[in-house]
Amino acid sequence: MISYCTNVHPAEDVDGIVAQLERYALPVRERLGADRLGVGLWLSAPVARGLAEDAEARKRFRAELDARGLSVYTLNAFPYGGFHDDVVKHAVYRPEWTHPDRVAYTIDCVNVLSDLLAGDASYGSISTLPLAWREPWGEQDDRRAIESFAEVVRAIGDRPIKLAVEPEPGCVLDTVADALGWLSGRVDPEYVGLCLDTCHLAVSFADPTETLRAIAESDVDIVKVQASAALHVEDPAEARDALAAFAEPRYLHQVREFSGGVVRKADDLPEAWTDLPGEGPWRVHFHMPLHQAPAAPLSTTTDVLRTVAAELPGEPHIEVETYTWSVLPDAGDLVGGIAAELEWAQANLVKEGASA
């Protein structure tokens, strides 16, 4: 089942979440002509806590989902809260995996997902942040994070729930290679695996085929794929004016340049003009709609996503995660945009004979 991630919507209370499902998810399902629609829920920490503590509230929420033909296979527990504040930037990486609040939030999500999980799901997945922003981080932080994951694993127990750690540029686990190196031997692979975000993968300039091979040779499974595309800039000098529209103040848009045989780094789009030489192509951490390309000289990295989908082992959860609609230049109708992305995903990502 392909889901769309509801972190594109701002509500941070149950009534607001139900209202946005009614306003957006239900019309998307109807536009697609589908009996069921997968939704990858984002629940802020207060919502997750309230639902985790109230079995009747979970039952009512499940009924609201069922009434609208919505199925839950996965939660996005990366943002703790405030994901649609005027300025998010580095706040999205807090609390870190060293903090008890991150542990409590994740356990709350485990308890909620256990009761919301679709009846035909073989497991439920919860994507989470790659430990923290890269600094400060030391050996003591490593030890605390290992203990934190172990605590969540104990809370999962015998329930079919798996955590999916999502590497992201600029974080402690910046790349998939970083994530494989850290997870191997530190966490229980039966419960903790990888969330492969294909926008982040593309920004890192990693070869998708080689990346999938490295994962296959590790003891880390792909639990979840976030189907997403980065902004690609073949010639930064030529694209400067076009890029200006994407340098918005809410989210962090890490930039990577491949030049001189190495990947060069900038932590945000405005900084890239001074931090990078501009001698090779750029990729920008800006989740772009899957079904449409921006005007030249800009493009997107859907080729990376297609390669991953074609070579992906097993059937991990796939979640379309374009959370940037509210900051996209000329975004247009949200229901129409989400439906078009899901149609594109159905046509381009689902292997023949597999279920959508």
In the structure, what pLDDT confidence band is assigned to residue 4 with cuts at 50, 70 and 90?
Answer: very high
pLDDT digits (tens, 9 = 90+) for 302-327: 999 999 999 999 999 999 999 999 99
Instruction: Read off the pLDDT band of 355 (50, 70, 90).
Output: very low
CATH of 2-230+301-349, one of 3.40.50.300, 3.40.50.720, 3.20.20.150, 3.30.420.40: 3.20.20.150
The C-alpha atoms of residue 78 and residue 93 are separated, in whole angstroms, by 8
Give 199-208 pLDDT, tens digit per residue: 999 999 999 9
Give the pLDDT of residue 332: 85
Q: What is the residue type of 244?
A: A
Domain ranges of the chain: 2-230+301-349
Q: Is the pTM of this model over 0.95?
A: yes
For 3, phi then psi, to 5°, come to -110, 160
Q: Is the pLDDT of residue 168 over 60?
A: yes
Give which of 57, 319, 354, 10 is closest to 65, Cα–Cα: 57
For 114-156, the pLDDT digits (tens) are 999 999 999 999 999 999 999 999 999 999 999 999 999 999 9
Q: What digits encode the pLDDT tens for the residues 207-256?
A: 999 999 999 999 999 999 999 999 999 999 999 999 999 999 999 999 99
Q: pLDDT band for 13, please (50, 70, 90 cuts).
A: very high
Under the banding of pLDDT at 50, 70 and 90, the label for residue 349 is very high
Strands 222-227 and 192-197: parallel
Distance CA 342, CA 39 (A): 11
Percentage, residues of the chain above pLDDT 70: 99
Confidence of residue 352 (pLDDT cuts 50, 70, 90): low
**What is the end-to-end Cα distance of the chain in Å, rounded?**
5
